């Protein structure tokens, strides 16, 4: 089986995928991890012995514009904006072309994405490839994120010729998910 993992470049998002990707590789599956060419992410993949499928990241100006607005906002509104306009916006749009190319060329049987990477959600859907996820947050936060990015993900869908409101985002927080976290935090 060919399995493509997909993640944003931040080490806190790459690291949770590594044990799953390594285990599947060790079981004989062909595994690649799609992420940008950030040094930390590439080093983590190299150390784990995992194949890297690079995709593009937003320009510094695009990131600066998002972060400037995040800095102006407060609390939950700032976080929602960062997910909507950053992760599901400029980052996903930058990643989409090479991610689609990787899916066409690698022909994965399954795409497994982490919680903040949204281009693969839409690219896999467009290619008809089944999906699963690795939760990097608790389940309540995962559901909150899905609600915040629904409109941005619909915009990605129209970019690749899909209809808005298809099933992938609706099922994203409740679909097949791998997680090392407990379902709920109980103090």
Query: How far apart are alpha carbons 10 and 48 in whole angstroms?
Result: 16
Q: What are phi and psi of 110, to 5 degrees?
A: -155, 140
- The residues, ordered by sequence, that sit 6+ positions from 100 with a Cβ below 8 Å of its Cβ are 123, 126, 127, 160
Q: Which two tokens stand for residue 177?
A: 């998910």
CA–CA gap between residue 186 and residue 172 (Å, rounded): 24
Mind listing the pLDDT tens digit for each residue in 127-171? 999 999 988 888 788 889 999 999 999 999 999 999 876 555 444
The answer to whether the beta carbons of residues 11 and 44 sit under 8 Å apart is: yes
pLDDT in tens, the chain (187 residues): 999 999 998 888 898 899 999 999 999 999 999 999 888 889 999 999 999 999 999 999 999 999 999 999 999 999 999 999 999 999 999 999 999 999 999 999 999 999 899 999 999 999 999 999 988 888 788 889 999 999 999 999 999 999 876 555 444 544 577 776 655 544 5
Domain 2-56+95-178 has CATH 3.40.50.300: no
């Amino acid at each position: 089986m060919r399995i493509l993992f997909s993640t944003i470049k931040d080490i806190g998002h790459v690291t949770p995928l590594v044990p799953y990707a390594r285990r599947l590789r060790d079981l004989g599956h062909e595994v690649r991890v799609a992420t940008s060419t950030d040094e930390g992410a590439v080093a983590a993949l190299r150390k784990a012995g995992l194949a890297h499928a690079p995709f593009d990241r937003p320009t510094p100006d695009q990131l600066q514009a998002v972060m400037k607005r995040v800095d102006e906002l407060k609390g939950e509104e700032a976080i929602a904006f960062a997910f909507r306009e950053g992760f599901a916006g400029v980052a996903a749009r930058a990643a989409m072309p090479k991610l689609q190319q990787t899916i066409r060329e690698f022909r994965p049987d399954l795409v497994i994405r982490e919680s903040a990477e949204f281009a693969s959600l839409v690219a896999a859907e467009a290619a008809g490839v089944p999906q699963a996820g690795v939760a990097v947050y608790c389940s309540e936060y995962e559901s909150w994120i899905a609600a915040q990015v629904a409109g941005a993900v619909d915009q990605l869908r129209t970019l690749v010729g899909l209809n808005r409101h298809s099933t992938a985002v609706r099922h994203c927080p409740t679909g097949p998910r791998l997680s090392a976290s407990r379902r709920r935090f109980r103090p």
